[in-house]
Structure 1
Amino acid sequence: MFHRFRRRAALVAAGALTLTMAACGSGEESDAENLDDNRVGAMSEYGVGTQFKATEPLTFSMLYNNHPNYPNRKDWLFWSELNKRTGVTIETVEVPLSDYEQKRGLMIGAGEAPMIIPKTYPGQEAPFVASGALLPVSEYLDLMPNFKDKMEKWNLKADIDTLRQSDGKFYILPGLHENVWPDYSLAVRTDILEELNLQIPKSWDELYTVLKAMKARYPDQYPFSDRWSKPTPGGNLFNIMGVGFGTRGGWDYQNYSWDAAAGKFVFTGTTPQYKAMVEFLNKLVKEGLLDPESFTQDDDQARQKLASGKSFVIGTNAQTLVNEYRPDLAKLDPNAKIVKIPLPAGPAGDVKRGTRLENGVAISTKARESKNFVAMMQFLDWLYYSDAGQEFAKWGVEGTTFTKDAAGKWTLAKDIDYVALNPGAPKHLQKDFGFGNGVFAYGGPTKLLQSTFSAEELEFQQAMAAKKTLPVDPPHPFTDEEREQATLWETPLKDYVTQQTLAFILGQRDLAQWDAYVAEVKGKNADAYIDLLNKAYERFKKEHG
């Protein structure tokens, strides 16, 4: 989950299911009526709360993202217990994490991908839709009662609609979260705040005040020195700032933003909101509050500055805070205290943004011809979307890897460690048993998601839950021809915005030249790009609702 927002960040009621089906056009499920020859091994009675068990032994091929922290082992309890519960054997085609995206693309493009293709993020399936290499999974949701149940119960229609292609269908089964799950924010040295008699800042303006006080006390230092700027300058910082400023940046940058008041998309990098964010950052750099090397330095350099007391504020997430910053500081300054603060509010309000969709599963079109196709869809529905399947993938086997009390609280077995729940334990849930595996364990109810969180992280999540969640953008899928044209414009526009953003922030270009910059961006086809996108939005709205 560590890279959830980094990777996509572009990269989100009763009757919702009916509306979703209607939005796909007539006959979305028509193909599902012609599956008489594809039901071998399937259960005749399968629904929400049913333990899937194939009526005969089955084997399905799966592309497997082999993580170096817990490389696949055939003797994992995960594999044997999965077979025991479902009657299914997974035949893995293993690909190292470092090569996964490239190899996945090559295999799909060549028609050589296994039947099941997990660890695919929303948007990564789009290049393969036109070729017909991937199954339009939205046509087969009647085979997946747990998926449908959570989609309706959690009112996920708007999130799901963001997956739809120009034909109204979607081609990836995403992980589904009950609620938006923010993780990335800022870490602040609270012992320095105490020294200066300051409170944790709740807004970007309050952060400015805090940084000014730190600078006054330590004039030879930059109080804020950030990380995560390679390969995306300002990756995390622009990302989290963009939320409060009503724009997008860094990992979350995309050339378009939805203007709800105008009812259309606008070009992100030239909006007043984006300019306001740039002006604020320029002020921090100009006044010596933000280290200008924040946008070029390696993560290790930023960590060293924090550990040595040369800076007091840095970007963070839950794992980084516990696994890196605190151990780093403990070696050099045992009295130092650092916490992850709730995302600061900004001109756009006290808000949070995010999708409730996680990386998910794409399915090779050839799987549709398998005599075991229906059984495969039932199996995936149980493993990825049922409460029992999600618990199994994350926690393992009750009585062996965990226990569960009457209130439904999970407790890891004392001889097993996972996310520092039992430090020093001789066994590890991922490495030795195969559970908590990023290929299978994601999405689900908030209670399950937070079941491994520390008390500190739960407090952070509670604070974030109180913030207003911004709505997701409306769907606006391109046709194949439009996508080809947009692709020619998108990267040059994004690269130029990034380049000029840094120039303005660092004072290499005067902010008085903003209007000239806007004209330059328009000269790189920004208006034509946005016109193309609004045309796609209007067409989809007209054709699919």
Structure 2
Amino acid sequence: MAIRSRRRVAAFAAALLAVSLSACSGEEPTSDDLSGNRVGAMSDYGVNSQFKATEALNFSILYNNHPNYPLKNEWLFWSELTKRTGVTLQPTAVPLSDYEQKRSLLIGAGDAPLIIPKTYPGQETPFVASGSILPVSDYLDLMPNFKDKVAKWNLQPDVDQLRQLDGKFYLLPGLHEDVWTDYSLGVRTDILAQLNLTAPKTWDEVYTMLKAMKAAYPNQYPMSDRWSKPTPGGALFNFMSPAFSTNGGWGYRNDYWDASAKKFVFTGATDGYKQMVTYLNKLVKEGLLDPESFTQDDDTAIQKLATGKSFVISANAQELVNKYRTTMAETLPKATMVKIPQPAGPAGDVKAGTRLENGIMISKKARDSKNFVAMMQFIDWLYYSDAGQEFAKWGVPGTTYNKDASGKFTLAPDVDYVKLNPTATKHLQKDFGFGNGVFAYGGTTQLLQSTFSAEELEYQKAMDAKQTLPLAPPHPYEDAEAEQATLWETPLKDHVSQMTLKFILGQRDLSEWDAYVAELKAKNMDAYIELVNKAYDRFAKQRG
């Protein structure tokens, strides 16, 4: 492992001290001379100013092309954006299925567009060392709306999660006012009524509910799940794991923050992870959870639900309305289904989440553009101002939506979105380009919930009452540490994933758990966690 020189240590500590002081004030130090990069920029741009370039500008952007609303050049979004800002975006469209791979190839080849959105926290890290992307934290003085929301919503601890070893961050995240969660279990409420059951509030009650369903329908699995490709248990493990003091599925990380011990532990070897696996094994062993849940595709799982072969499935608000209820209406017209609040578990009535959304990387070459300042102002307006966020989500007043004096949004009568106007002939995303995941995320809780049904608002109210678990602190690696961690992380994660399924499906007996932990140790589990905690201790000490 490389040993840093005293000069490097001193320089790094000084840099972190400067960043720490600036973070406390919500400021980032900017020493760059940008006098030659202000063409098209506004001289009086500020919080909630309408950005309008002083001359017509064009910016390239990587575009995640979603199959549910494929890109159209004639969308009102494009023309109205240019009308309001003087900026024309030039999208490089990449299919959703290939987005991450194509993004990496373009950045690696130096061919990436200037603006690189739809990047989730952590996905920027591989591009930092090469210098391919900009340390955006150096330029926050150009982004008054971003800084305003971080200060107003006390988001600095969340944003600090993004800092790399140099104390800077390289991703402009989407910012939410509050933590919110969407995924949970979808449950057939007509079956609950038939069996005189109430919706479960804990995972023990979920077990009791599934047992009652199995007793009434002994020849089928009460629960058959989805969202297991490419990550087995992707959604289910992700939303159930906080209740077991662990993480899993889409949110699995080898390092789990033990807040009480104030250190990282290896996730796949913790008691909490074992409890979760043991619980799921019991469901499979007793015929309550379809073992194909971890290998079948989504369509197969939905078909089982729609034909009455299952009654419980992982859900989110949009799929509940657009897929489950719509499909069952054709095959089981008397069926009813709700999304229940995430059940409580051994860890209590808790939820996990961050207020950061996927965000934007900026290509390093943007810094040399004469329009750099204008581009940063434009991004700040579109992604972080109240007006820009409302525009990206809802569109044009009088055309796609209306808003009353109380701030309530309603879609135009002939426009639909998430089944709010199911008989409308036009669609907000497909026909106008608004509500687009490339541009519309983050914002106030009022804006977030403006498209929620009364039912979803009740769900969110129940979730708001839960205790939010603390965020894991940052632990950026030195270069040599990062290389070593990468060598260890993948084999460890793969072994956890494979053995998790074997334990759940009964292909490996849970009595072999200690042997499994020994296998993880043989794959450098202890050395890996020691490395993580060393990085955490160093960063915490240097940050003060």
The answer to whether the superposition gives a TM-score over 0.5 is yes
Q: Which residue number in structure 2 is paired with residue 534 of structure 1?
A: 533
Could you tell me how far apart the structure 2 residues matched to 1:187 and 1:19 are? Answer: 48
Verify: 1:294 aligned to 2:296, yes or no. no
Assess if the C-alpha contact under 8 Å between 1:23 and 1:544 holds in 2: no
> Per the alignment, in what secondary structure is the counterpart of residue 410 of structure 2?
strand
Alignment of 1:352-501 (within 5 A): 352-501=351-500
Specify whether residues 471 and 372 from structure 1 end up closer, same or farther in structure 2 by C-alpha distance, changes over 3 A only: same
Could you tell me how far apart the structure 1 residues matched to 2:221 and 2:541 are? Answer: 53
Q: Which residue number in structure 2 is paired with residue 138 of structure 1?
A: 137
Assess if the C-alpha contact under 8 Å between 2:256 and 2:267 holds in 1: yes
Offset of residue 33 of structure 1: 4.8
Q: Which residue number in structure 2 is paired with residue 97 of structure 1?
A: 96
Letter in 1 for 2:282: K
Verify: 1:62 aligned to 2:56, yes or no. no
Verify: 1:272 aligned to 2:252, yes or no. no
Q: Where do 5+ consecutive residues of structure 1 fail to align?
A: 1-17
1:104-149 deviation digits (Å, cap 9, x = unpaired) = 1111111111211111111111111011110000011111110001
Offset of residue 74 of structure 1: 2.7
Assess if the C-alpha contact under 8 Å between 1:180 and 1:354 holds in 2: yes
Assess if the C-alpha contact under 8 Å between 2:20 and 2:543 holds in 1: no
Offset of residue 21 of structure 1: 5.1
Q: Which residue number in structure 2 is paired with residue 334 of structure 1?
A: 333
Could you tell me how far apart the structure 2 residues matched to 1:507 and 1:484 are? Answer: 36
1:160-179 deviation digits (Å, cap 9, x = unpaired) = 11111111100010111111
Could you tell me how far apart the structure 2 residues matched to 1:31 and 1:19 are? Answer: 11
Letter in 2 for 1:45: D
Could you tell me how far apart the structure 1 residues matched to 2:399 and 2:281 are? Answer: 55
Q: Which residue number in structure 2 is paired with residue 113 of structure 1?
A: 112
Could you tell me how far apart the structure 1 residues matched to 2:411 and 2:326 are? Answer: 24
Letter in 1 for 2:78: W
Offset of residue 471 of structure 1: 1.4
Assess if the C-alpha contact under 8 Å between 2:322 and 2:418 holds in 1: no
Q: Which residue number in structure 1 is paired with residue 347 of structure 2?
A: 348
Letter in 1 for 2:400: T
Alignment of 1:3-402 (within 5 A): 22=21, 29-402=28-401
Offset of residue 339 of structure 1: 0.8
> Per the alignment, in what secondary structure is the counterpart of residue 503 of structure 1?
helix
Letter in 2 for 1:239: N
> Per the alignment, in what secondary structure is the counterpart of residue 447 of structure 2?
helix
* Percent of aligned pairs with the same amino acid: 74
Could you tell me how far apart the structure 2 residues matched to 1:429 and 1:237 are? Answer: 30
Could you tell me how far apart the structure 1 residues matched to 2:515 and 2:528 are? Answer: 19
1:406-425 deviation digits (Å, cap 9, x = unpaired) = 10111111111222222232
Offset of residue 197 of structure 1: 1.1
Aligned residues: 528
Compute the RMSD of aligned alpha carbons: 1.9
Assess if the C-alpha contact under 8 Å between 1:24 and 1:169 holds in 2: no
> Per the alignment, in what secondary structure is the counterpart of residue 314 of structure 2?
strand
Offset of residue 318 of structure 1: 1.1
Offset of residue 94 of structure 1: 2.4
Assess if the C-alpha contact under 8 Å between 1:115 and 1:366 holds in 2: yes
Assess if the C-alpha contact under 8 Å between 2:23 and 2:156 holds in 1: no
Could you tell me how far apart the structure 1 residues matched to 2:22 and 2:496 are? Answer: 35
Assess if the C-alpha contact under 8 Å between 1:22 and 1:544 holds in 2: no
Letter in 2 for 1:536: A
Could you tell me how far apart the structure 2 residues matched to 1:341 and 1:321 are? Answer: 11
Provide the TM-score with structure 2 as the length reference: 0.93
Assess if the C-alpha contact under 8 Å between 1:63 and 1:117 holds in 2: yes
Q: Which residue number in structure 1 is paired with residue 8 of structure 2?
A: none
Offset of residue 82 of structure 1: 1.3
Could you tell me how far apart the structure 2 residues matched to 1:293 and 1:91 are? Answer: 43
Letter in 2 for 1:148: K
Could you tell me how far apart the structure 1 residues matched to 2:376 and 2:55 are? Answer: 15
Provide the TM-score with structure 1 as the length reference: 0.93
Offset of residue 188 of structure 1: 0.8
